[in-house]
Chains A and B, each alone.
Chain A
């Protein structure tokens, strides 16, 4: 177990390095000369050359990458080409907490809702409960998240707040950057309620697809476990039906679901980009959107790098957790 954990931990920097290399190639090499978008197409060649030198773009690519990597290690993600003011790292520091907040809320809805739907489907297999749950789950994986967001706005826009993560009438001193947590820490009940209401629609929209995936996997996993001998034994011994399901079956059925949750986290981080766009949520998604609109490759690269690194770390944590709860997974014994 220790060797497995150590090996995975040692691999982490390698994976992160590879991610940084891909981002560098995509954002610095493929788009070509950034001086065109900074100075415009009519700028003089001499001005362009001077800017290229100042930005270090006249150096060979491996040298440029080494400089990029060196800055990354110091937490420097660069500066937007055109927009004055904050660096990419400062902007991301402000925008990452709202995205994590949205992702975690959606994750909670997806896991709890998906487990409930999947368990009911498995227990009431081939009844209308099962057909309805699985139809909802199948529809859930087929709907574009941004369309669902729009439907929610059209249906509930009159009752729930849209746009931002807190009403404009409130002023909140950021401590952690997580609005709900900050409102709770400040002891502001009204503000806490407003923040929760702002979170509700985006979180539900974002949760739909992972909820549907969780429900489908939970159903399949539960059906497999419910057919095993030890469940029959538990039932024969007179254990109450729901006790058999929650204590005996669900515990073993949870193993594949844990892996799925890790993968879903990545989906949620990506989906947050589209959801935030619909609900004007002030997180990484709207940052990426604005950067795309202004062709700010440094900002897009920084945001993609941070979100992907978060995904890598979460996946590692889930894999380790997986090995912890299921001894068969410690590789080599699988």
Chain B
């Protein structure tokens, strides 16, 4: 429940910050920059200001839109690629399984953030690159999970019954097997959003993320890190936003797993 609360908190503030805050998240305010920039938290700027004098509270929650979108988009990318690959490998077995499993093994031979860095570096920084790089890195996890679930389910009686009734592969796979394999996939997707936010922030932190100026947590943390001796607040609050949102997804994912998996409740 705490996880759901955190997720709702970020989603609500991200959705309403546009009209709730009097400040612009991107435009550099007029006036004396030296007086405005890197101000500590105050009644007019609850979390202080960044290096360009912009309100941090507005930027942190505006950035939630970008970062949550990146997290969701990367996970969706991993799922869209991983699900059919894993399903085909698990259902058809033989060469399909060998081919998919070996390709996944190759991807898993790379430490995940290194593979993301290599993909992002080869394509050049940008939002699309981040989604692609982090999304590809997540494919093996989904594919393996789906494969394992399909392998177990394809031997079940209800599948044999469906086959005996003359159902084709597509019908068996998509209407009989996959709906029953959804539980662990939903858990993995929830946890995957948190992991993707972390990894995308990592890419931004080393300069391989979204374009400069975009309100995004990783990039804000990078800028805050640069200004840390002048003011710790920008780095502190953007890092805190990443941590709390990822914690939210992790808590929610853990809760879902416990709810869906009877064994884990026994162990606990």
Q: Mark each residue of chain B from 234 to 254: 1 if its CB lies under 8 Å from any CB of chain A, else 0.
A: 011001101110110011001
Q: Mark each residue of chain B from 105 to 119: 1 if its CB lies under 8 Å from any CB of chain A, else 0.
A: 110011111110111
- B72 at the A interface (CB under 8 A): no
- A293 at the B interface (CB under 8 A): yes
- A318 at the B interface (CB under 8 A): no
Check A292/B117 contact, CB under 8 A, given A15-B106, A139-B243: yes
Residues on the B chain within 8 Å of A154, using CB? 228, 232, 236
Selecting from B28-36, B146-154, B201-209, the interface stretch reads: B201-209
From 133 to 156 in chain A, residues with beta carbon under 8 angstroms from any chain B beta carbon are 138-139, 141-147, 150-151, 153-154
**Complex Cα spacing A125 to B28, Å:** 53
- A105 at the B interface (CB under 8 A): no
Q: Mark each residue of chain A from 38 to 57: 1 if its CB lies under 8 Å from any CB of chain B, else 0.
A: 00000000000000000000
Query: Main secondary structure on chain B at its contact with chain A?
Result: helix
Contact (Cβ within 8 A) A292 B267: no
From 190 to 236 in chain B, residues with beta carbon under 8 angstroms from any chain A beta carbon are 194, 198, 201-202, 205-208, 218, 221, 225, 228, 232, 235-236
**Complex Cα spacing A307 to B109, Å:** 10
- A224 at the B interface (CB under 8 A): yes
**Complex Cα spacing A304 to B117, Å:** 9
**Complex Cα spacing A220 to B268, Å:** 8
Task: Looking at the assembled complex, report how far the CB atom of A98 sits from the nearest CB atom of chain B, in whole angstroms.
Answer: 17
Contact (Cβ within 8 A) B111 A270: yes
Residues on the B chain within 8 Å of A269, using CB? 111, 114
Residues on the A chain within 8 Å of B42, using CB? none
Check A308/B109 contact, CB under 8 A, given A146-B205, A289-B206: yes
Contact (Cβ within 8 A) B206 A274: yes
Check A311/B109 contact, CB under 8 A, given A147-B242, A273-B206, A289-B206: yes
**Complex Cα spacing A289 to B113, Å:** 13
- A325 at the B interface (CB under 8 A): no
| Residue of B122, B239, B246 with most partner-chain A CB within 10 A | B122
**Complex Cα spacing A151 to B218, Å:** 15
Residues on the B chain within 8 Å of A151, using CB? 236, 239
- B80 at the A interface (CB under 8 A): no
- B123 at the A interface (CB under 8 A): yes
Check A138/B205 contact, CB under 8 A, given A154-B232, A307-B111: no
- B159 at the A interface (CB under 8 A): no
Other-chain residue from A138, A153, A292, A308 in contact with B247 (beta carbon distance below 8 A): A138
Contact (Cβ within 8 A) B221 A144: yes
Contact (Cβ within 8 A) A223 B267: yes
Other-chain residue from B110, B225, B251 in contact with A150 (beta carbon distance below 8 A): B225
Q: How many residues of A contact B (CB 8 A)?
A: 48
- A183 at the B interface (CB under 8 A): no
| Residue of A266, A270, A289, A304 with most partner-chain B CB within 10 A | A270
Task: Looking at the assembled complex, report how far the CB atom of A156 sits from the nearest CB atom of chain B, in whole angstroms.
Answer: 14
Task: Looking at the assembled complex, report how far the CB atom of A16 sits from the nearest CB atom of chain B, in whole angstroms.
Answer: 8
Query: Main secondary structure on chain A at its contact with chain B?
Result: helix
**Complex Cα spacing A266 to B122, Å:** 21
- B181 at the A interface (CB under 8 A): no
By beta carbon, the residue of chain A nearest B246 is A142
By beta carbon, the residue of chain B nearest A304 is B118
By beta carbon, the residue of chain A nearest B112 is A270
Check A147/B239 contact, CB under 8 A, given A154-B228, A300-B117, A304-B118: yes
Contact (Cβ within 8 A) B122 A26: yes
Task: Looking at the assembled complex, report how far the CB atom of A262 sits from the nearest CB atom of chain B, in whole angstroms.
Answer: 12
Residues on the B chain within 8 Å of A267, using CB? 111-112
Residues on the B chain within 8 Å of A304, using CB? 110, 114-115, 117-118
Residues on the B chain within 8 Å of A69, using CB? none
Contact (Cβ within 8 A) A22 B106: yes
Task: Looking at the assembled complex, report how far the CB atom of A255 sits from the nearest CB atom of chain B, in whole angstroms.
Answer: 16
Contact (Cβ within 8 A) A274 B205: yes
Task: Looking at the assembled complex, report how far the CB atom of B204 sits from the nearest CB atom of chain A, in whole angstroms.
Answer: 10
Binding site for A on B (CB under 8 A): 105-106, 109-115, 117-119, 121-124, 194, 198, 201-202, 205-208, 218, 221, 225, 228, 232, 235-236, 239-240, 242-244, 246-247, 250-251, 254, 267-268
A sample of 28 cross-chain residue pairs with beta-carbon separation below 8 angstroms, ordered by A number, consists of A19-B109, A22-B106, A23-B118, A26-B119, A26-B121, A27-B122, A30-B123, A138-B247, A139-B243, A142-B194, A143-B242, A144-B221, A144-B242, A147-B243, A150-B228, A224-B267, A266-B111, A266-B112, A267-B111, A274-B205, A277-B205, A292-B121, A292-B207, A301-B118, A308-B109, A308-B111, A311-B110, A312-B109
Told that A288-B206, A308-B109 touch, could you supply 19 new A-B pairs with CB distance under 8 A? A15-B106, A19-B109, A19-B110, A144-B246, A150-B221, A151-B236, A224-B267, A266-B111, A269-B114, A270-B112, A273-B113, A274-B113, A277-B205, A278-B225, A292-B117, A292-B208, A300-B118, A304-B117, A311-B109
